[in-house]
Amino acid sequence: MIKVEGLSKIYGDHIAVDDISFEVKEGHIYGFLGPNGAGKSTTMNIITGYIAATYGTVTVNGFLMGKDTLKAKKSIGYLPEIPPLYPDMTVKEYLLFAASVKGLSKAEKISEVDRVMAATDITDMSKRLIKHLSKGYKQRVGIAQAILGNPKVIILDEPTVGLDPEQIIEVRTLIKSLKGEHTVILSSHILSEISATCDEVLVIANGRMVACDTTENLLKNSKSVKTIKLNIKGEKEKIEEVLNNIENIDEVKFIESKEESSIFEVTCDPDKDLREEISFALSDARLLILEMSEETSTLEDIYLQLVKEADEKYEAEMQAIREGKDLDEVFSEDEKKEENITEAEDVTGESDETNSGEGEENASKEDEE
C-alpha cells in the first residue's frame, strides 16, 4: 500500500530524514514512534506530498509521489498534529468545504459528509461552530475530514495529544474501527496507545529507521530481562547475601527499607522462572517473603533501548567525523568486536556442554564399576 525507498530530507547542513526505507501493508494499523525531532512529522509530510523529498521515492496505492502526485494524494487522508480547522465555520460547513477541496461532486458531498459525521459520532454537533467544540470533538472533526472520500490510506499525527483519558479512549476506539477498510499510520508518544491499537511499529531516531516489526516480535527479539520485585522481612545485609548467592540471578538491586522489611529487585533471563529457587533460598535462611511480583520488558522498555542504541551509534559516528576517521573502519571494528563476543559466548557454552557430557560419562562408568 505504501512503499518508501531511500527517503532523505536535508535542510542546509541538517539531515532531518536519513535514507529510510519501509513498506506498509494494506488494511493494517502502523504505529510511528520516535523522540521529538526524530523526523516523524517530516516523513509523514513527505508521504502525504505536503513537502518534497531531497532523495528517495514514495509510492502510495501504486502511484509514485512526484510523478502521479494528484492520484497518490487522492488515496490519502491526513490529520496533522494541529487539525486544520476553521473555527468560525459550523462542523457541517467545514466538512462540505473540505469535501469540495477533495474534488467530490455535489451529490457525493452531502452523502459523504453525513457518512463521516456518523462514523466519528459528531452528527449532533453538525450545526455547532467549531470554536465552541471541546478538544476531543475538534479531533473527531479532524479525523472526519481525513476520512472524507474514503481514502485507502489514513495518516494521523499525534491524534490524541492534549486529550483527557476519556477522550483518548474514544479516539482510540474510532481509530481501531478504521482497520481493514483503511491502512492507518499513527504517530504517538503514548506507547500504551500504540501497543493497544497498532499491528506493527515503526521506530525512527535521528532521522533513521531503527525498527519495523510487530510488537510481539519486538518483545521476542529484544535483549529483554525479567524483573522480580521482593518485599522481604529481615536484615538487609543478610537478604542481599542470600540473593547474591542464588544461581542465574543477573543483578540484585536494593530499593528501599521499610519498618521490618526491605524491598529488592532482581533481574534474570526472561525464559527462566526463579521464583521457586528464591523462595527456598530465603526460607532456608529463615527470611520471610511478604510480597513477590515479576515483570518482563514492555514496549516502552524496548523503545527506550532501541533509541538509546541508535543515539550511541549516532554519537559515535559524529565523533568519528569530527576526528576525521574513516566511518567504514570505525563501524567494521565495532562489528568485529560484537562477533568476537558472540563467538566467545558460543565457545564457552560448547565447553560447558562438553565438560558436562564428560562428567556424565565418567559418572556412568563409575556406576558400572
Q: 74 with 51: CB under 8 angstroms? A: no
Place 362 in a pLDDT band, splitting at 50, 70 and 90: low
Query: CA of 192: how far to CAs of 155, 164, 172, in Å?
Result: 19, 15, 11
Q: 118 with 165: CB under 8 angstroms? A: no
Which DSSP helix (H) or strand (E) runs through 257? strand 249-257
Instruction: Share the mean pLDDT of the chain.
Output: 83
Q: Which three cell numbers stand for residue 71?
A: 492520484
Which ranges in 55-90 belong to alpha helices (H)? 69-74
Tell me the one-letter amino acid at 355. Answer: N
End-to-end CA distance of the chain: 71
Average pLDDT over residues 291-303: 77
If one counts every other C-beta atom within 10 angstroms of the C-beta of residue 312, the result is 10
Place 329 in a pLDDT band, splitting at 50, 70 and 90: low
Average pLDDT over residues 92-118: 92
Q: What are phi and psi of 179, to 5 degrees?
A: -60, 140
Average pLDDT over residues 171-182: 84
Burial class (CB within 10 angstroms; exposed 0-12, middle 13-18, buried 19+) of 254: middle
Tell me the pairing of strands 200-205 and 208-214. antiparallel
d(CA 98, CA 90): 12
At 241 the pLDDT is 92
Residue appearing with cell numbers 511478604: 290
Query: CA of 106: how far to CAs of 93, 103, 117, in Å?
Result: 14, 9, 17
d(CA 29, CA 24): 9
At 337 the pLDDT is 52
d(CA 217, CA 310): 19
d(CA 47, CA 78): 10
Q: Looking at the predicted structure, is the pLDDT value of residue 341 above 50?
A: no
CA atoms within 13 A on the CB side of 330: 15
Which ranges in the chain belong to alpha helices (H)? 40-47, 69-74, 91-101, 106-119, 135-147, 165-177, 191-197, 215-221, 236-244, 275-284, 299-322, 327-368
d(CA 79, CA 29): 15
At 369 the pLDDT is 43
Per-residue pLDDT tens over the stretch 265-288: 888 877 788 888 999 999 999 999
At 144 the pLDDT is 92
